[in-house]
């Protein structure tokens, strides 16, 4: 965690995190300018994870907003009140795991589907990229932050995800399939190997 970000987090209430992950950051365009304006409209503190020097803002930021290239989600997100992001699978899962409401602005690929899944869980809203303007962003964030059902669903989802051990479960399932396959193969070559996966 950058030391200046740790100081910022220690000095006030939980901020909104604005990030474009590791892919959409290359096509940010006006995302960060509109994000700053939205945070100002809400009177909220904000962290901008700009990801690349090309996204460095020319104007000076008010004390309530900080921009850094990178911060580890596992340290930052539990200290945030909400996150706005592109909907990449890694960023989406980190937001869900942190138990904070999210506003997803899909850019491409699997991002609209990830946004739809998060919305069905009740802890996220979706805003099309073409409508990412400060006033609309502020309105969506205000809904997420003031309606208690979004925060409670986010916390509930985060608690469930933190209780899971995805890698251990995946390893156990792989072992079960391999053991079942070995049993089928030992029974004779006429037995189809794929039966173990049914």
The count of other CB atoms within 10 Å of the CB of residue 144 is 24
129 and 170 part of one domain: no
155 and 170 part of one domain: no
CATH number of the domain within which 137 lies: 3.40.50.2000
DSSP conformational letter for 17? E
pLDDT of residue 35: 97
Residue 76 to residues 2, 5, 63, 171, Cα–Cα distance (Å): 10, 9, 18, 29
Q: Express each pLDDT in 69-125 by its tens digit.
A: 999 999 999 999 999 999 999 999 999 999 999 999 999 999 999 999 999 999 999
144 and 54 part of one domain: yes
pLDDT of residue 190: 53
Q: Express each pLDDT in 131-165 by its tens digit.
A: 999 999 999 999 999 999 999 999 999 999 999 88
Question: Based on the structure, what is the number of domains in the chain?
Answer: 2
126 and 96 part of one domain: yes
95 and 154 part of one domain: yes
Look at the block and give the residue holding tokens 């090309």. 54
52 and 16 part of one domain: yes
């Amino acid at each position: 965690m950058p030391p200046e970000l740790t100081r910022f987090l220690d000095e006030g209430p939980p901020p909104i995190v604005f990030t474009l992950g590791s892919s959409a950051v290359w096509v940010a365009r006006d995302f960060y300018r509109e994000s700053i304006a939205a945070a100002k409209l809400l009177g909220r503190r904000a962290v901008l994870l700009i990801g690349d020097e090309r996204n460095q803002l020319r104007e000076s930021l008010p004390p309530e907003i900080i921009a850094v290239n990178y911060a580890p989600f596992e340290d930052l997100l539990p200290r945030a009140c909400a996150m706005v992001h592109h909907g990449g699978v890694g960023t989406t899962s980190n937001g869900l795991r942190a138990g904070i409401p999210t506003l997803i602005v899909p850019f491409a690929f699997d991002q609209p589907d990830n946004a739809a899944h998060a919305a069905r869980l009740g802890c996220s809203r979706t805003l099309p990229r073409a409508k990412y303007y400060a006033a609309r962003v502020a309105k969506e964030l205000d809904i997420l932050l003031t309606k208690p059902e979004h925060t409670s669903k986010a916390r509930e989802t985060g608690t469930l995800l933190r209780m899971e051990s995805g890698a251990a479960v995946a390893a156990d399932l792989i072992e079960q399939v391999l053991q079942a396959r070995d049993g089928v193969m030992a029974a004779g070559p006429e037995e189809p190997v794929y039966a173990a996966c049914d």
